[in-house]
Amino acid sequence: MAFTLWTLFEATLLCLNAVCVLHEDRFLAKIGWSSSSSVHGFGEQPSIKAQILNLVRSIRTVTRIPLIFFNIITIIIKLILG
C-alpha cells in the first residue's frame, strides 16, 4: 500500500472520528478526564490535561457538520472506486 494523499486524508478522517466519538461521561470520566476534574482558579495556568480536554471539546464542536460531509464523500468514493 502506497502512502498517498488519499491515505493521509483517510487517516486524518479516522482520527477525527475517534476524537468526536469519545463521550465524557462514559469514557473520559472513567479514566479521570471529566470536565469536573479540571477546575482551576482564576489566573492560574490550566494543566495539560485541561488543555487536552478543551482541545477535544473544540474539535467535537467545530468539526461535527464538516465531518459528516467528509464521511459521506469518503464512503461514496470507496463504493465507486473500491
pLDDT tens-digit profile of 44-62?
A: 787 888 888 888 888 888 9
Q: Is the dihedral of CA 69, 7, 57, 45 positive or negative?
A: negative
In the structure grid, which three cell numbers stand for residue 30, read together? 472513567
Kindly indicate the confidence band of residue 17, based on its pLDDT and cuts at 50, 70 and 90.
very high
E-only strand ranges, 1-82: none
Torsion of CA 71, 75, 80, 81, to 10 degrees: 80
Q: Would you state the pLDDT for residue 45?
A: 81
Assessment of whether the complete model's pTM goes beyond 0.75: no
The residue ranking higher by pLDDT, 60 or 25, is: 60
Residue identified by cell 473500491 is 82
Please check the confidence at residue 16 and state whether its pLDDT lies above 70: yes
Please check the confidence at residue 39 and state whether its pLDDT lies above 60: no
